[in-house]
Structure 1
């Protein structure tokens, strides 16, 4: 358990490629998957929360439907294969994790779910709750409804976005290759790159666009793109070979892309020049709490301005009236007005429904 141990990485996102889950004949590699489930159980038992981004639905569905080219001959074939294969994929994950005493959950997402801020907020809240309950979310792109124009296209980048939404500190891309090489690893003299401190033009030039298995949709180009997303969000990313038993507990060679020292990308976006839909004024106690990394509770708010919906970007003004922070509101403006200045134990009776944890959660807030 040397890569991203629980003490230094409380939350981890693991992406598993099609070629690792599905054999060339289109069947599930059950023995290998049982080893992954055992690895996950070991890490969860040690206190780590794990979300899995699992490919394989199209490959499994293509076998059952007897489609050519692994179900990727056309968008329509891929959508049909995904619809059939996702059921099989979910069943096998539930079975394997269940054998280890773990509960699996399925989340199918599209590009818009994680690019639209309101839907991103919903996905992040669901992930947070599932992980807090020690459930293992199994995520995949919803290929049955995604189109060429609105899709991730590969699960490498999806895994990085999921890590961002989940607030993960690490991402592991398990693949059919053990990391980045200075050229195509099939070429003589190819050198393995163990650590990347900064993704620049030289690193990008090393990427090989091919997918060795022919089953997946992402090569090294997509993995480097995923590393950019993860690193900008404050998460380290490792590309590691899954061509070993128990890859999450082995000493297998890998490439580590080190996260940036600056603020995560979502914090930079929140603090940037986008127009806020409203403003929450806060008292000195709330300002101190926010400066200490806490969420904004209703009790610390003194006044609400503007018209905004849940998930909209809002400004937060300090007790002196100066801009203090920006964040995504957990409530619409009308409900925010109703609970301003109220204690958490009063909110349910005021709103008539179970209240959310904060007006603005710390994971969706940036101090200015």
Structure 2
């Protein structure tokens, strides 16, 4: 199994990093430094290249460095198992953002977006279970995009039809329900694609969960967005009165969700346990991706050790290494005590202070 990897990274005008060039070729890199030093911004730079958007919210402030007009990130990305190195670039000027491959502007559906996959685990990862169902649907559908092209095409078509149907409902639902046939057809196709992916996810997740006693007896459950045992067409027909009053479609795959449960219902979890579950879900999806497509991901692991006991992060570090994907870690603090973190001996070490990155390897 092979994965893409980041070799050289050049960052200009990204938060408190005014300019830096970092060579991170190799299986594992660790960036250490104080809070607010710029460690997470290095991960953000890789994420911008792969996804074209940031994973950080407004609370983190403006993406572009104070006093700068442009944020620019350039990365040399080696395609897994190939000699080819792709130069990717992300550019943001005020509210306009774009990505480039070898100097040519590309969209979100560009070819490299399927094989240059990044998986992030960071401060906000707990929202996967603490947040609204839309967060979990987005997580599921992002993985659907990477492992099943037809499924992602159906998702885009379904969203267009859902918008049209909701517009019809908001206008008073006058005339014949022209969008119902396509809504049901695409909804059923999307549900089947999600269920197929989720079935593989569940199998991989339950194997990984065996290493953590608090997950004994748990189940991972998917809900389609309408009652079990009922066809989507019948569910839509049964709710026609309610949706005309509310002005939006109330049943369908846009209401899908999944949950982690034990014999007593929803599984209560601490922050550390939530982080473990998020890690295992990402690792489970990685196994599905590798089994279906034959390549893995680049891991962006932001202060993985926070909230975890030594046994747990030892197991997780071993699992991340076993994927064969490039791992880019950050850790709050200095270089003391790194030998107990469970990282390989050839890990590249960097110190970050006030936006300046120093290679200590």
Query: TM class by shorter-chain length?
Result: under 0.3
